[in-house]
Structure 1
């Protein structure tokens, strides 16, 4: 059984016991996500697919926040040839690790 869910504006394919990394969410570690933060868009229950318009009625995904962390560093390098212009920046995205505990239809 898997589901397509929307968390913090991003869509993920999730199964029970999987972890996903989303943009930073409000809440402490080991806190459960509210039902309005996790929108279930599609559920596949052993070949029986339910598609929501926009969400599946009666389907819920329970999840909890495991930890808050920072992602890998991304180097942003800009250059204009023959102009002497070079700029190097780095960026680390703030992330939240979310554990999917259960999917119910």
Structure 2
């Protein structure tokens, strides 16, 4: 089973147990977070595509670390004008490990079972 999630303005294809670096998220190291912007779920032949999101679907993840990426150098120059500008940028990231991919929240499943 895999899912396509959206976080930090980017889309990621994730499976349970996978580790990936995403844009900086709020959360302590070791804490669990829930990503509920799920765009697509696939379980074998069963594929569910959201419009744009799948209602009730979520992905559980554990925060492993926070850090900063490699420096990217930006150089701007205007020829014959004696204009040169050099700038560096390091993007913050959060490393997460994907846990459970849930198709429906537990509260909604219990409410439907009670009916």
**TM-score range normalised by the length of the shorter chain:** 0.7 to 0.9
* Structure with more of its chain in helix, by fraction: 2
Deviations, residues 4-50 of structure 1 (Å, cap 9, x unaligned): 1122332211111112212111111011113xx43111100012101
Give the structure-2-normalised TM-score: 0.80
**CA distance in structure 1 between the partners assigned to 2:102 and 2:39 by the alignment:** 13
**CA distance in structure 2 between the partners assigned to 1:86 and 1:41 by the alignment:** 43
- TM superposition outliers: structure 1 runs of 4+ over 3 Å: none
**Residue of structure 1 in register with 2:58 after alignment:** 60
Q: CA RMSD in A?
A: 1.5
**Residue of structure 1 in register with 2:17 after alignment:** 17
Q: How does 1:1-105 map to 2 (within 5 A)?
A: 1-34=1-34, 37-105=35-103
**CA distance in structure 2 between the partners assigned to 1:90 and 1:54 by the alignment:** 36
Q: Which has the higher contact order (CA 8 A, sep 6+)?
A: 1
Structure 1 gaps of 5+ residues are none
Give the structure-1-normalised TM-score: 0.87
Structure 2 gaps of 5+ residues are 104-115
Deviations, residues 40-71 of structure 1 (Å, cap 9, x unaligned): 11100012101123322343211111100001
CA contact (8 A) 1:7 1:38 kept: no
